[in-house]
Amino acid sequence: MDRLKDEVEYRKSQGLKQLSKEQVCELFKNLGYILEVSDPCYYTGLYMTGDRAGTSYPAVSYRILEASSKRSAFHVDSDRGKNYQEMQKLRHEVFFSTARAVCDL
């Protein structure tokens, strides 16, 4: 099976909700964050442990910035309030894919 399709199906089977890139960006925006999609980082994701250990998939990641400061959401001085906690939770509940890769939030 195609590795991209296999990964999308696996994430759905684990309860993650597949959304469009625009929908995910809007969810982040509502929490005060920017998903910086203009500078993608493509790579090969690889499971290191568990049932899928050794399984790889095409992946892409984007920077997550605080809208207010334009600083990385994970910078030492970034806000760690309620919206940060919600954003972290969201990263484990939704995903999107492009024609080439699954986005690792």
pLDDT given for residue 94 in this prediction: 98
- Per residue in 6-51, pLDDT (tens digit) is 999 999 999 999 999 999 999 999 999 999 999 999 999 999 999 9
Domain count, the chain: 1
CA–CA gap between residue 67 and residue 32 (Å, rounded): 5
Using the CB atoms, write b or e for 22-49: b if 16+ within 10 Å.
Answer: eebbebbeebbbbbeeeeeeeeebeeee
pTM over 0.85: yes
Contacts of 69 (CB under 8 A, 6+ apart): 78
**Radius of gyration for the chain, computed over Cα atoms and rounded to the nearest angstrom:** 14
CA–CA gap between residue 59 and residue 98 (Å, rounded): 9
Question: What's the domain range around 12?
Answer: 3-103
